[in-house]
Amino acid sequence: MTEGPGFWITLEGGDGSGKTTQADLLESWLTDAGHTVLRTREPGGSEVGQLIREIVLHHRGDIAPRAEALLYAADRAHHVATVVRPALQRGDVVLQDRYLDSSVAYQGAGRVLDATEVRELSLWAAEGALPDLTVLLDLDPAAARTRLDSADKPFDRLEAEKAEFHGRVRDGYLALAAAEPDRFLVVDAADAPDVIAAGIRTRVAALLAP
Instruction: Give CA–CA dist 69/122, Å, rounded.
Output: 9
Tell me which DSSP letter residue 92 carries.
P
Q: Does 134 bind ligand TYD (CB under 6 A)?
A: no
The residues in 6-25 that bind ligand TYD, with binding defined as CB under 6 A, are: 15, 19
Q: Which residue among 23, 129, 144, 158 contacts ligand TYD (CB under 6 A)?
A: 158
As measured in angstroms, the least distance from the Cβ of 210 to ligand TYD is 32
3-state secondary structure of 4: coil
Assess contact for 155 and 14: CB atoms under 8 A.
Answer: no
| Binding range to ligand TYD, per CB under 6 A, among 1-9, 79-87, 101-109, 177-185 | 101-109
3-state secondary structure of 118: helix
Instruction: Give CA–CA dist 14/21, Å, rounded.
Output: 14
Q: Please say which residue, 157 or 201, places its beta carbon nearer to ligand TYD.
A: 157
CB burial of residue 67 (10 Å; 0-12, 13-18, 19+): exposed
The residues in 53-82 that bind ligand TYD, with binding defined as CB under 6 A, are: 57, 72
135 forms bridges with which residues in the sheet? Answer: 11, 185
As measured in angstroms, the least distance from the Cβ of 11 to ligand TYD is 8
Assess contact for 106 and 176: CB atoms under 8 A.
Answer: no
Helices 65-79 and 115-125 meet at what angle, rounded to 10? 30
Count residues near ligand TYD (CB under 6 A).
16
Q: Please say which residue, 7 or 165, places its beta carbon nearer to ligand TYD.
A: 165
Q: Does 42 bind ligand TYD (CB under 6 A)?
A: yes
Q: Does 43 bind ligand TYD (CB under 6 A)?
A: yes
Q: Which chain residues interact with ligand TYD by CB under 6 A?
A: 15, 19, 41-43, 57, 72, 97-98, 102-103, 106-107, 156, 158-159
